[in-house]
Chains A and B, each alone.
Chain A
């Protein structure tokens, strides 16, 4: 029994269709963010619920790491900004999946760290690009 005998013609169409759709969706962030310039200044924004609770200039983190805590409905997150990168250092114990902790470091525009149970999101914004329309 070969896989070729199991797959139908419409299966193959579906697979190709899904690949095309995801590749098109992959290109959208490039359209918005473009290539990163050398002199850009990144700003970390922390959103809790529907308001931005903290903004940090990433450039300040090269001397020594910036560590701060954000409180949400299910607990406290420890967030670290270090050498121009951002991560969630510690997620509250009430979040069993700890997806925001597993996401690891982000260091450019585009990727976002989310903790859905705590309605918390962190992302980097460049000061010399107008992505405000994208993020709001």
Chain B
């Protein structure tokens, strides 16, 4: 893939992630379990990981989190650090799983790993801020909820990659 084209695709993925982040806030999952969300922006991370590998996908995640917090006005506040910790840990785990265990796990499994890691990182980060171990009460509910959301996100990423044109994927996913 040409360098210019790659830059364009990366920035498209970042803006898609920002929009998905906005769409996500229309679903008030926080009323079911505090802190729960769909994780739609993870679709973009998964696609970036499968298309580009480490440096570019990392850029997509970092820019999505930073730009998203700038747009929401929460940059450098606690909300930003929470989503940053969750985003980074889930990205690293998803990338490592994709890189080393691609033959064993499908995108669905990788997405579930990312969702569970995101929740665990956020709860742990919040624990260090509010210093109250009772917050772990919500962890099992969040992990249980991460199964269907991670499953859905993995499915969406899978079908998106399948329907991307040959010029983008290089024929890796059009089976």
Residues of chain A whose beta carbon lies under 8 Å from any beta carbon of chain B: 3, 6-11, 14-15, 18-19, 21-23, 25-26, 29, 47, 49-50, 74, 95-97, 99-100, 102-104, 110-114, 116-117, 119-121, 123, 134-136
Contact = CB atoms under 8 A, between A and B. Distances in A.
Contact of A6 (B31, B108, B139, B140): B108
A96 B73 contact: yes
B112 to A, nearest CB: 6
A50 B129 CA distance: 9
A116 B105 contact: no
Contacts, number: 113
A120 B126 CA distance: 11
Contacts of A113: 34
A22 B147 CA distance: 10
B contacts with A: majority SS = helix
B32 to A, nearest CB: 9
Contacts of A26: 140-141, 144
A102 B142 CA distance: 15
Contact of B143 (A3, A11, A14, A22): A22
